[in-house]
Amino acid sequence: MSDSPTGLTQAQKAEQVRSMDLLRFATAGSVDDGKSTLIGRLLLDSKSIFEDQLEAVEATSQSKGYDYTDLALLTDGLRSEREQGITIDVAYRYFATPTRKFIIADTPGHVQYTRNMVTGASTADLGLVLVDARQGLTEQSRRHAVILSLLRVPHLVLAVNKMDLVDFSQEIYEKIHAEFTQFATKLNIPDLEVIPISALQGDNVVTRSEKMPWYSGPTLMHHLEHVHVASDRDLVDVRFPVQYVVRPKSDEHHDYRGYGGMVAGGVLKPGDEVVVLPSGMTSKIAGIDLFDQEVSEAFPPMSVTVRLEDDVDVSRGDMIARPANAPKPSQDIDAMVCWMTNEPLRPRQKLAIKHTTRSARALVKDIQYRLDVNTLHRDQDTKELGLNEIGRVQLRTTVPLLCDPYSKNRATGSFILIDEATGVTVGGGMINSAS
């Protein structure tokens, strides 16, 4: 929405690229593996907390009689979490280094909070699974690795924590490394890194540990700063779900009409021929606006406003794509669903469905099987999905959805299910196929 010439200056382009260099990662693991302490260590050693915050944590640690500063207090914000010494809800934390910006989803370790873990990891670029070096791999460690694999989180780090409590033993580290690597062959994990750390003492978290000279890999922070995530997104198939029709109706922009949203796939450029779905009307991109600047291209996950050359009918829930590889409108959806409420999911149940910016109603046609995320066994005799359970479900929607397989595009391949009576989100889904 600017009168400035097309394109950005070099400084503006550099700032745009820098602002896009963001890593979202989710922590997971069994209770007491040290997730909150690790995040506290990352925040402290990257100088991302204020002095008064640190002083408050030190004072609280002393009042509780601890022999050390409990960095977990930086992240466990709920009173019930502090009292139990565990994480219950998903705690989001933000920090930055000169290299990259970070959003952390600190997810709970208890089995009964699996839905919270799914929520926190659903948008993650990287999954960070902690294991206690004394305990080795547990059922919950494997469970979280399976869920991260189902969610197609492209990068996984196994942090072998509390190495200080096993005398920084190389033998114990290598045993856990070999066991998890073997287990990971059953999963879809494209990129795996195993790092020995001590979150409490800071070994191999931000600074390299002198106590583990046998380890030659990166520190955790170095890996987080340099893991390459730009190519994880689909930059081929253009997908632009329209979230809002922008009509300022001001004297400065009297005739302005644009379509706001987040780019879910591909690269958009002025002059590109596009199709608006589901109407099938075609046009060309007249321009792309980012804040008050016009840009030469847009790619995931940029939020922009797209202007078209022709005055076609476009509204919220529509999708702008390329005519040659547009998604096929589908009403029959085959998906993996994580159920998130006490009342079970059963066949013939009717729910609201939200897919990208499009809303509809859905009928549960069939539950094909329930997946045991501990053993990967498929229970085909199940008649329902209970709280925190994951299963393969067939849905029929009232209006066509413009979707892709989740394996191809996580943004257009996912959805949430909503109880129409209460408005509560009761399930999250990952699309296998649609017809």
> Per the structure, how many domains does the chain have?
3
Q: Which is it for strands 293-295 and 155-161: parallel, antiparallel or unpaired?
A: unpaired
Tell me what the mean pLDDT of segment 412-433 comes to.
Answer: 93
If asked whether residues 160 and 53 sit together in one domain, one would say yes
pLDDT digits (tens, 9 = 90+) for 108-127: 655 555 677 787 788 899 99
3 lies in some domain? no
Residues constituting the chain: 435
9 lies in some domain? no
**Is the per-residue pLDDT at 83 higher than 60?**
no
- Going by pLDDT thresholds of 50, 70 and 90, the confidence category of residue 198 is very high
If asked whether residues 316 and 370 sit together in one domain, one would say no
pLDDT digits (tens, 9 = 90+) for 292-350: 799 999 999 899 999 999 989 999 999 999 999 999 899 999 999 999 889 999 999 99
Amino acid identity, position 260: G
In this structure, how many other beta carbons lie within 10 angstroms of the beta carbon of residue 49?
Answer: 18
pLDDT of res. 28: 83
**Is the per-residue pLDDT at 25 higher than 60?**
yes
276 pairs with which residues across the strands?
A: 281, 320
Range of the domain at 375: 329-434
**Is the per-residue pLDDT at 383 higher than 80?**
yes
- Going by pLDDT thresholds of 50, 70 and 90, the confidence category of residue 3 is very low
pLDDT of res. 78: 36
6 lies in some domain? no
303 lies in some domain? yes
pTM of structure: 0.81
4 lies in some domain? no
pLDDT digits (tens, 9 = 90+) for 9-22: 444 444 444 444 88
Name the residue with tokens 């998903």: 90
Average pLDDT, the chain: 84
Between the ranges 188-192, 351-355, 426-430, where is the mean pLDDT highest? 351-355
CATH code of the domain covering residue 36:
3.40.50.300
CATH code of the domain covering residue 412:
2.40.30.10
